[in-house]
Amino acid sequence: MKKTWWKEAVVYQIYPRSFFDTNGDGMGDLNGIRAKLDYLQELGVDMIWLCPVYKSPNVDNGYDVSDYQAIMDEMGTMDDFDRLLEDIHSRGMKIMMDLVLNHTSDQHPWFLESKSSKDSPKRDWYVWRDHPTNWESIFGGPAWTYDPKTRQYYFHLFSKSQVDLNWENPELRRALYDMILWWLDKGIDGFRVDAINHLKKEYTDMPNPEGLNYVPAWEKMTNVQGIQELLAELRRETFDRYDVVTVGEANSVRAHEISEWISEEEGKFNMIFHLEAHEEAWDEESAGVDVDDLRIVLDRWQRSAQGIAWNSLYLENHDRPRTVSTWGNDREHWRESATALGCMYFFMQGTPFIYQGQEIGMTNAPFDDINMYRDIETKNMYRYNRQKGVPHKDLMKTIKKISRDHARTPMQWNFGANAGFTGGKPWIPLNPNFNWLNVKAQQQDPQSVLAFYKKMLKLRKQHEALVYGSTHLAFLECPYVYAYTREYGEARYLIISHLDDDTCSWWSPVDGELLLSNYEDHADGKLKPYEARVYLLK
């Protein structure tokens, strides 16, 4: 398999609105990212991925773009972006932008022109119908909104302010390609491409035996026949012209489909983000992780990619609750479970992604009032289900587990006001545990979550086998241990993560050199709660 810079990189995802604010308006900005580049460089990351910073009304926090070639007011200016780009590159680091191609804001000039008249030259750049299908949008409610001026309905997969582009129109595609090339000419190093498996739709009604107002229509708008031809053109007209990395968000793709998506021979992206592990490994009964299911799913992806493709490795992102709160124990074994989970995923074959705050073990927020939440998906889910009669108490129980806002509370930098995030009023409440869980508290602690992440990054850079080696499951007697080996030539490594609150009997390999552990005292004969170890096998 070919060696490349992006396979050897570690990527750090930034949700700019919640990272660091330099002008006191309560929202993070581009200059805030520049101010923290020393921190990121010390952590050891190679590439920064920015969630959208394009001009936007922020109905969905930047994923509703109103101008692809301008910076949103809250984030700064294009000059600020250019300085950030220069500073990142001067440190030998790289930058990846989020790219939203499925839809635009309803305030984008393209849509304003499209809705101005049925005869508009851009009418067909979006999807208009006299009669809508019976689909439900992903954010709840109808997937079509009526426009009284032109007396037609427009389609929106997400909110009514996020209007789907018509990828069947070649002029629209050309405009998007020109925009992408503009950013690549500016010197960015890659894209994470949002909701990319939804570009093609099959606009027919869903069966509705229950007589619902709106019907979920996942199979009509996900991986529809013909999407690969569109993606092949996208790659050919843009990404292939530069030495950049591309990661497609394709939640529904499964491991057996890996070839046409990310294989080195015919893939349309270098990597994809899938949701299979998060969907299959969540144990609702124990409100934790099912290690058996997790082992099956991740091993399937490792084996499917071996020799033909490359995996993305991640625990958290801006759309997922904090893993230490869902798969770990954020109370008695907070530090141990945050580090054991990190060790579990970080050393597989693939490019590791770290989401801001994950490296210090940030947890879900204890928000018990719906008014403390800001996420449009969360608020829509609450509103539509209350209309259906679901009790408030039941809805809040679910929201406190799964809301996207858990990943979006401000980065916890220090013990000061607003955790050092802003001198103003934060756009979303902080997690109150910042008074003990923050960067400053961990920077001088050699046993902190932050210190462990630094050690993991350093270890991966020192051992080529931990990048390019093949991955093989190792079955120990402990049912809650996720263990695997990495093998590359004569080099062999054993990675062990005990993902449980109890202890487990286990003896270290006699020919193993311990390279990393999240416990100071790792006496032989047992694994402690959430103990993680990395061995070099001799």
How far apart CA 439 and CA 361 sit, in angstroms, is: 10
**If you ran DSSP here, which 8-state letter would residue 133 be given?**
-
H helix or E strand, kind and range, residue 462: helix 449-462
Whether 533 and 496 have beta carbons less than 8 Å apart is answered as yes
Q: Tokens 């509103």 identify what position?
A: 383
Q: From the candidates 194, 276, 290, 375, give the one annotated as an active-site residue.
A: 194
Nearest CA to 487 among 377, 348, 390? 348
How far apart CA 512 and CA 478 sit, in angstroms, is: 19
Q: Which residues contact 459 (CB under 8 A, 6 or more apart)?
A: 466, 515, 516, 534
How far apart CA 467 and CA 456 sit, in angstroms, is: 12
How far apart CA 513 and CA 301 sit, in angstroms, is: 28
Give the strand order in the sheet containing 532-537: 470-473, 481-488, 491-498, 532-537, 512-517
**If you ran DSSP here, which 8-state letter would residue 60 be given?**
T
H helix or E strand, kind and range, residue 216: strand 215-216
H helix or E strand, kind and range, residue 81: helix 78-90
Structure tokens at 398: 């679910």
In order, the DSSP letters of 102-121 are: SEEETTSHHHHHHTT-TT-T
Nearest CA to 129 among 145, 159, 152, 158? 152
**If you ran DSSP here, which 8-state letter would residue 65 be given?**
-
> Considering Cα of 180, then 181, then 182, then 183, what sign does the dihedral take?
positive
Q: From the candidates 46, 74, 98, 249, give the one annotated as an active-site residue.
A: 249
Q: Tokens 């983000």 identify what position?
A: 273
Give the number of C-alpha atoms closer than 13 A to the C-alpha of residue 467, restricted to the C-beta side.
Answer: 18
H helix or E strand, kind and range, residue 336: helix 334-346
User: Cα–Cα distances in Å, from 302 out to 245, 256, 272, 297, 484?
Assistant: 20, 11, 13, 9, 11
Whether 441 and 415 have beta carbons less than 8 Å apart is answered as yes
In the annotation, is 249 catalytic? yes
Active site positions, annotated: 194, 249
